[in-house]
Structure 1
Amino acid sequence: MSEEKLRVISIAHTGVSRAAGRLRYAPFENRDDVDVHLVVPSRWKQFGRSMTADPGGDPGVTTHVLPILFPDAGPFSWYLHVYRGLGRLIRETRPHVIHLWEEPWSFIALQARLLKGDAALVLEVDQNILKRLPPPFETIRGNVLANTAHLLSRSSDATMVAKARGYSGPVSTIGYGVDQQVFKPVPEIGSLAEQPQLTLGYVGRLIEEKGIQDVLEAMAMTSAPVALKLVGEGPYEAALRQRAERLGLTDRLTIMPWSNPEGVATFIRSLDALVLLTHTTPTVKEQFGRVIIEAQACGTPVIGARSGAIPDIVGKGGWIVPERDPRSLAELIAHIHAHPDERHQKAADGLENIRMGFTYDAIADQLHSAWKAAARRG
C-alpha cells in the first residue's frame, strides 16, 4: 500500500460497552496515520444480561452501532451473530485491514472473510484448548484461518490452537488493557509492618473451576491468620459457604455481590493479595485472567495457579502455586504473612508489569503494528 492513511475496520462485540471494549482504541486519537472504524452490536446478551450499546462519539475511532441477526441465540450468540449493513460499510470505507476481536469459527468471522474484498484480515484469538468443533464451525474456522493475514494471539496456547487448525502466517502477542483511571494504587502501596491478619480476595464468577475452595482448604492448614473476601455471584456460592462452615472458617469468609468497576477497584486495594487458582479441565483453561492486571494496576500482588496463561500474566507481580494443591498454598500464605517486605516488592513489580505491557497505549501499539504488517502483506 502507499503512504496514505491506514484505514481499519475493527469488529468487536465487546465494544457494546464503552467501559468494557472501547477504551483501548482511545490512543488512536493522537495518531494521524490511521483511521479506525469500530463496529459494535446495537444490543447484546451475555451471561443472562441484555445490554444496549453505548452511543458513539468515542475518542480515537468512528463507532458504528449496527443491528445484528440472531441476537437471542443464548451463549451461542458469541459465534452465530452477523451484522446488518456491514457490506455497505466496507464498500464505503474501503479498508486496508479488517480486524476481528472474534474467534475464527464465528459467523461474523466468516461474514467478514466473504465481504472483505482486498482488505487484509487480522484475527485476535483467545481460544486455548484444541478440540474439533461440530459442523459447520470447524469448516468455518479452516476457511477463515486460511484467509487470515495476521494473528493476534492472547497466549502461546491460543497460537498452538490456530496453527493446529491450519494457520501458517505471522503471529503477534496481544494482552488486555487496564483502565488506569479506575484501577490505580493508593498513594502508598502498603505498610511494611507485619499485619495481624492477611486478607486474600477474589473477583469473578463463583464456579467450582475457579479453585476458590483451595483457598479455604489452605486457610484450614495454616496457623497464619488469614481471611478470604469474594466479590461475585454464581452457582458455587452455597458449596463455598458449606465448606467454610465444615472447616470452621465461616467468620473468615465474606461474599459480596457484583460491583461497578470503581467498587471493584476499591475492593482490590483493600487486599493483601488477590487469588486466581483456576483448575484446568478438558473444557476450561484460563485464557488470560483480566482481574490479574486489574489487581496489579491497583498495587495488589496476585497468587495464581499454574493454569493456562496465568503464570505469564502474573510475571514478577505475584506468586505461582501448582493447581489443586492447598498444601503448597498454605505454605505460601504463611510465608507471605511473615514477609511483608516481599509483598511490597511484588506489588511494585506488578505495577511495572502493567506499565510495560498492559496500558491502553501498549495495546494500541500492538494493534497498530499488526494492522500495518497485515496491510503490507495484503
Structure 2
Amino acid sequence: MSDGRKLKVLSIAHPAVSRDVGRRRYYPFATRDDLDVHLVVPATWHQFGRTMTADPPPDPGVTLHVMPIRLKQAGPMSWYLHFYPGLRKLIRTLSPDVIHLWEEPWSVVALQAALLKGPAALVLEVDQNILKTLPPPFESIRRHVLKQTAHLLSRSPDATMVCRARGYAGPVSPIGYGVDRDTFRPDPAAAPPRRAASAEQPLRLGYVGRIVVEKGLDDALDAMARTQAPVTLSILGEGPYLPRLRERIATLGLGDRVDIRGWASPAEVASFIRGLDALILLTRTTDAVREQFGRVIVEAQSCGVPVIGSTCGAIPDVIGAGGWIVPESDPVALAALVETLAADPQTRTRKGEDGQRNVLARFTYEAVAKALSGAWAAAARETKSREKLDKNGSSSETKVSPSLVGND
C-alpha cells in the first residue's frame, strides 16, 4: 500500500478446499512482501455427489482458516446457501483492506461478506455466464452484492455481461484458471510419432470430465461412425449419462474403439492426457448450460496436447490457437476434422506447441496470482469513492436474518 503497510486480503473460496484444485493459485504470494493474504475454506464440502474434507495448513502464500459452514447442502440451490458462522469474528480480528469472494454474487456467503465487510473493498470473482432471473430472494441478493462490489474478476465476457445486466457498473479484470505445470507437463518419451494415423496406430481422441448429455459425447461417437479414418476415443469420468452412452456405443458398433474408465487422481489424469493426440470438449448450449471455462482444456494444452472444442461459451477463447473449433452438435463437421487430423501429424504437433504457449501466457498460477493481486490493489484504491456512495443510504432490497452474519 502507499503508506508502506502490507495489503491485507481475506479471500473466501470454497473451491480452495482442495490443495490440488483451488489452492495452488495462492502460492506465488509467498514471494510477495507487500501482501498479507488470508484464505477461508469450508471444513467439509459437498459437490457433484462427493464429500471433500479440507486439506490442512500450512500452504505457502496464505494464512489458512478452515472453518465450519452451515447449510452445506440445501435442495435445488445446492451449495449457494452455505455461510460461515464464525466469519464476523474473523473479519473483526483481521480488519482486512480487501475481501475477495470466489463465490457467485447470489450466494448467501456473498451476502454475508457484503454485510460484514465494513470499510474493506469487496472483490468478486464470477463464472456464471447465463443471464436469467433468479427466484426470491436470490435476485435481490445478487443486486445487493453487486452494488457493494468494488472490482469484478470475470472468467469470460459472458460472465461480465450477466453482472452488467444486473447492475454492476464498476471495473472488470479477466481471470482464468491456473494449471499445475508440475503435474500437467509434456512427456517427450510418450510423445506420439509424427506420422499419419493407421489401423495399428489410430488417432487417439480423449475426454475428461462428467459424463452428462450436455458434454456432447454422442456427437463424438456419431463422428467416429461417419468417418473411415482410424480413430479411437478414451473417456475418463463418471456421470448419470454413462448407461445411455454405453448403449449408444453398442448401437453404433464402436465397442472395440471406445474405452471408459472412472475418476482418477490429477497425476493419473495427466498421464491419460499425455497418451492422446487430441482432447475433445464438445459442450452443447442449453437453457442451463454454457461452458464457463473448461479447465481440462488448459490441462491438456499444458501437456502439449491440442484440443478440439465446440463453439459453446468460453471454449473458443480458452483454446485460443492451441486447437480447433467445430460447431455445436455437428458430427459431420467433426468427422471432417478428424479425417484431416488423422492424415496431418504436423498440424497436430504445431497446435500442441501453440497450446503450450497459450498456457504459459495466460493460465499459469503466476498469471492467475497477478490478476488477483492487481484487482485487490485496484479495489483498495477505489474503495474510498465507493464508500462515499454507500453513505448515501443502505439498500433495503434484502432483509436478512441475524443468524446469517455469524456469531461472535
TM-score category, normalised to shorter length: over 0.9
Question: What residue in structure 2 maps to residue 27 of structure 1?
Answer: 28
Any gaps of 5 or more consecutive residues in structure 1?
Answer: none
Q: Give the superposition deviation at 1:32.
A: 0.3
Cα distance in structure 1, aligned partners of 2:61 and 2:127: 24
How do residues 197-236 of structure 1 correspond to structure 2 at under 5 angstroms?
197-236=202-241
Q: 2 CA distance for matches of 1:126 and 1:88?
A: 28
When structure 1 is superposed on structure 2, of 247-256 and 320-329 the one drifting more is 247-256
Specify the alignment match of 1:115 in structure 2.
116
Query: Using the alignment, how far apart are the partners of 1:113 and 1:236 within structure 2?
Result: 39
Q: Which residue of 2 aligns with 1:270?
A: 275
1:235 maps to a residue whose letter is P
The partner residue of 1:190 within 161, 168, 192 is 192
SS of residue in 2 equivalent to 1:251: coil
Structure 1 length-normalised TM? 0.98
Alignment counterpart, residue 344 of structure 1, candidates 345, 349, 368:
349
1:245-275 CA-to-partner distances (Å, cap 9, x unmatched) read 2212111110111111111100000000000
2:130 corresponds to 1:129:
yes
Is residue 299 from structure 1 mapped to residue 301 from structure 2 by the alignment?
no
Instruction: Calculate the TM-score normalised by the size of structure 2.
Output: 0.91
Is this contact kept in 2: 1:70–1:77, CA < 8 A? no
Separation (CA, whole Å) in 1 of partners of 2:183 and 2:76: 29
Pairing 1:236-315 to 2, within 5 Å after superposition: 236-315=241-320
Once the 2 structures are TM-superposed, how far is the Cα of residue 76 of structure 1 from its aligned partner? 3.0
**Match in the other structure for 2:70:** 69
Alpha-carbon distance in structure 1 between the residues aligned to 2:28 and 2:70: 31
Q: 1:372 maps to which residue? A: 377
Residue number in structure 2 paired with 1:2: 3
User: 2:63, 2:16 → 1: CA distance?
Assistant: 12
Q: Output aligned runs, 1:58-97, within 5 Å.
A: 58-73=59-74, 76-97=77-98
Q: CA deviation at 1:77?
A: 4.2
- Partner secondary structure for residue 149 of structure 1: strand
- Specify the alignment match of 1:17 in structure 2: 18
Report the Cα offset of residue 75 of structure 1.
Answer: 5.9
SS of 1:82 mapped into structure 2: coil
User: Is 1:328 matched with 2:333?
Assistant: yes
Partner of 1:143: 144
- Please state whether the residue corresponding to 2:40 is helix, strand or coil: strand
**Residue 276 of structure 1 contacts residue 302 of structure 1 at CA under 8 Å; is this kept in 2?**
yes
Partners of 2:246 and 2:74 in 1: CA distance:
33
Which residue of structure 1 aligns with residue 107 of structure 2?
A: 106
Give the 3-state SS of the residue equivalent to 2:39 in structure 1.
strand
Quote the offset at 1:187 in angstroms: 2.3
For the Cα contact (< 8 Å) 2:195–2:344, is it kept in 1? no
Aligned partner letter, 2:271: T
Q: Which moved more, 1:72-81 or 1:249-258?
A: 72-81
Q: Kindly report structure 1 stretches of 4+ aligned residues shifted beyond 4 Å.
A: none
Question: How many Å apart are 1:71 and its aligned residue?
Answer: 1.8
SS in 2 for 1:68: coil
Q: Secondary structure at the match of 1:39?
A: strand
The alignment partner of 1:250 has SS state of: coil
Alpha-carbon deviation of 1:18? 1.1
- Identity among equivalent pairs (%): 62
Structure 1 position 6, deviation (Å): 0.4
Q: Which letter maps to 2:34?
A: D
Q: Which residue of 1 aligns with 2:57?
A: 56
Whole-Å separation in 2 of the counterparts to 1:39 and 1:74: 24
The unaligned stretches of length 5 or more in structure 2 are 384-408
> How large is the RMSD of aligned CA atoms in angstroms?
1.0
Structure with the larger RCO, 1 or 2 (CA within 8 Å, 6+ apart):
2
Give, as a single letter, the amino acid of the residue that structure 2 aligns with 1:193: R
The letter of the residue matching 2:242 is E
Q: Structure 1 residue 74: deviation in Å?
A: 5.0
**Structure 1 residues 264, 67: closer, same or farther in 2, change over 3 A?**
same
- Where 2:135 maps in the other structure, the secondary structure is coil
Match in the other structure for 1:173: 174
Verify the 8 A CA contact 2:205 2:280 in the aligned structure 1.
yes
Q: Is the 8 A contact 1:45 1:74 kept in 2?
A: no
